[in-house]
Amino acid sequence: MKQETIDRIRKFTDDRDWEQYHTPANLAKSISIEANELLECFQWSDTQYDIAEVSEELADVLVYCRNMLDALGLDEDEIILRKMAKNEAKYPVEKAKGKSTKYDKL
Amino acid sequence: MKQETIDRIRKFTDDRDWEQYHTPANLAKSISIEANELLECFQWSDTQYDIAEVSEELADVLVYCRNMLDALGLDEDEIILRKMAKNEAKYPVEKAKGKSTKYDKL
Amino acid sequence: MKQETIDRIRKFTDDRDWEQYHTPANLAKSISIEANELLECFQWSDTQYDIAEVSEELADVLVYCRNMLDALGLDEDEIILRKMAKNEAKYPVEKAKGKSTKYDKL
Amino acid sequence: MKQETIDRIRKFTDDRDWEQYHTPANLAKSISIEANELLECFQWSDTQYDIAEVSEELADVLVYCRNMLDALGLDEDEIILRKMAKNEAKYPVEKAKGKSTKYDKL
């Protein structure tokens, strides 16, 4: 995400005095709620979806994720790179290649 | 997200031949599933949570969001800026300031 | 649900002194969390699933729904029959038959 | 749930020819989507909620759970009683009493 985009999200919250609602717990609920509006685009069909609606709902998920990073003072790249290292260890290429099996059943 | 982080996520999928599972519908399910592992950190308390677990689950949400942007060929900043313009119009500062009311009840 | 089943659920909570955690908000989170463990059974395939796992996760959703009915003093049949009347009005047979279209686009 | 309520739900689906959409995977998505409309009632406050809205959303979750039991030919009491036996073993009263700790950390 570009700094300009991050700033626009922060200004939106700031202008409305909404930091008070952005507790980590409320943001976790919000991410799940928006993730399910995204899921609703695929409720009855996996292949027929409205790309404009999907884009909007995915954007909403990403905005709340940005709010949560801010509320907790986390660095996006840092937490992702640390998790990717774990994922790489949990799913060794030679075992996981081409399979959707969960790590505890690999 | 830095290009290095995006590349690490793409290589992880690519090395395991997992693009085949990354349909938009499967990724929408995955975002919701990970969002709920994040929510589980706050299941019984809003204030006592393990920041390391929260960081990992938030990272998982962000990784699947990145996968979905890739699967659909969407630009993160573009879809967010377009949605922010809508949000700004739906929640005018003078009406929404300091209130958590949903736009259709403002 | 039979009275015996309801009693077993209530005794489980009661024996563990867990009513204190069963606020409506915590139960709403719990229903979503369990619903997503159910969804995880279908994460990468719509047709290959483990019926034993599906049954367990669906049971967990139903147990938390029962806890929520109890926490709020609601009658299951009453709230469902009232909602079914609304659904029947929102989706008139002649318009909705054979279509998965949402009511606001019918 | 009373037989009358179950029959009303089944007739609703049947009248609209909607069994075709009621695959287990679509119903799992639907349960999660409705669970999150329920969660939305508590998005910004744990204590201020609209009981009429909560009742409607909880009813929607229960209706889709009923649809899923039907789609899979499962007996509600049977799957719940089987799961309760597991839960009772996972959370022994003497260890779990008064604590919200997850079983794997008890």
Tell me what pLDDT residue B106 has.
86
Q: Is the pLDDT of residue A78 over 90?
A: yes
Of residues A103 and B67, the one with the higher pLDDT is: B67
What is the spatial distance between Cα A38 and Cα D33, in angstroms, rounded to a whole number?
Answer: 9
Kindly list the residues from chain B whose CB atom is less than 8 angstroms away from the CB atom of residue D27.
Answer: none
Kindly list the residues from chain A whose CB atom is less than 8 angstroms away from the CB atom of residue D29.
Answer: 39, 42-43
Kindly list the residues from chain A whose CB atom is less than 8 angstroms away from the CB atom of residue D37.
Answer: 36
Q: Give the mean pLDDT of B48-54.
A: 97
CA of A33 to nearest chain D CA: how many angstroms apart? 5
Kindly list the residues from chain C whose CB atom is less than 8 angstroms away from the CB atom of residue B30.
Answer: 43
Instruction: Report CB contact under 8 Å: A32, D36.
Output: yes
pLDDT, tens digit, 9 for 90 and up, residues A1-57:
999 999 999 999 999 999 999 999 999 999 999 999 999 999 999 999 999 999 999
What is the spatial distance between Cα C89 and Cα C75, in angstroms, rounded to a whole number?
Answer: 22
Which of A18, A36, A104 is most worth mutating to test chain D (most D CB atoms within 10 A of its CB)? A36
At position C60, the amino acid (one-letter code) is: D
CB pairs < 8 Å spanning B and D: 9
Per-residue confidence band for C106, with pLDDT thresholds at 50, 70 and 90: confident
Among A25, A77, A79, beta carbon nearest to B2: A77
Q: Is the pLDDT of residue A62 over 90?
A: yes
Kindly list the residues from chain C whose CB atom is less than 8 angstroms away from the CB atom of residue A43.
Answer: 100
Distances (CA, A) of C97 to C93, D7, D21, D30, D64: 5, 18, 12, 19, 18
Average pLDDT, chain D: 96
CB C43 within 8 A of CB D33: no
Q: Give the mean pLDDT of B81-102.
A: 95
Residue of chain B nearest D43, judged by CA positions: B100
Tell me what pLDDT residue B74 has.
98
Residues C81, C84, C88, C90, CA torsion sign: positive
Tell me what pLDDT residue C60 has.
98
Structure tokens at D44: 């910004």
What is the spatial distance between Cα B85 and Cα B45, in angstroms, rounded to a whole number?
Answer: 34
What is the spatial distance between Cα C4 and Cα C37, in angstroms, rounded to a whole number?
Answer: 26
Q: Is the pLDDT of residue D54 over 90?
A: yes
Tell me what pLDDT residue D106 has.
86
Average pLDDT, chain C: 96
Q: Is the pLDDT of residue D67 over 90?
A: yes
Per the listing, tokens 């029947």 go with C88
Angle at CA of residue D38, ends D33 and D39, nearest 5°: 90
Residue % of chain B over a pLDDT of 70: 100
Among B8, B9, B58, beta carbon nearest to A68: B58
Kindly list the residues from chain A whose CB atom is less than 8 angstroms away from the CB atom of residue C100.
Answer: 43-45
Tell me what pLDDT residue D58 has.
98
Among D28, D35, D84, beta carbon nearest to C41: D28
Structure tokens at D57: 């959303």
Instruction: Report CB contact under 8 Å: C33, B36.
Output: yes
Kindly list the residues from chain D whose CB atom is less than 8 angstroms away from the CB atom of residue A37.
Answer: 36
Touching subunits of D (3+ CB pairs, under 8 Å) are A, B, C
Residue % of chain C over a pLDDT of 90: 94
Instruction: Report CB contact under 8 Å: A44, D26.
Output: yes
3-class SS string, chain D:
CCHHHHHHHHHHHHHCCCHHHCCHHHHHHHHHHHHHHHHHCCCCCCCCCCHHHHHHHHHHHHHHHHHHHHHHCCCHHHHHHHHHHHHHHHCCHHHHCCCCCCHHHC
ipTM associated with this complex:
0.96
Among A16, A39, A69, beta carbon nearest to B91: A16
Touching subunits of A (3+ CB pairs, under 8 Å) are B, C, D
Instruction: Report CB contact under 8 Å: C33, B39.
Output: yes
Tell me what pLDDT residue A106 has.
86
CB pairs < 8 Å spanning B and C: 31
Total-model pTM: 0.97
CA of D3 to nearest chain B CA: how many angstroms apart? 33
Tell me what pLDDT residue B2 has.
94
pLDDT, tens digit, 9 for 90 and up, residues D81-92:
999 999 999 999
Among C29, C45, C100, beta carbon nearest to A44: C100
pLDDT, tens digit, 9 for 90 and up, residues A81-91:
999 999 999 99
Q: Is the pLDDT of residue B87 over 90?
A: yes
Q: Is the pLDDT of residue B80 over 90?
A: yes
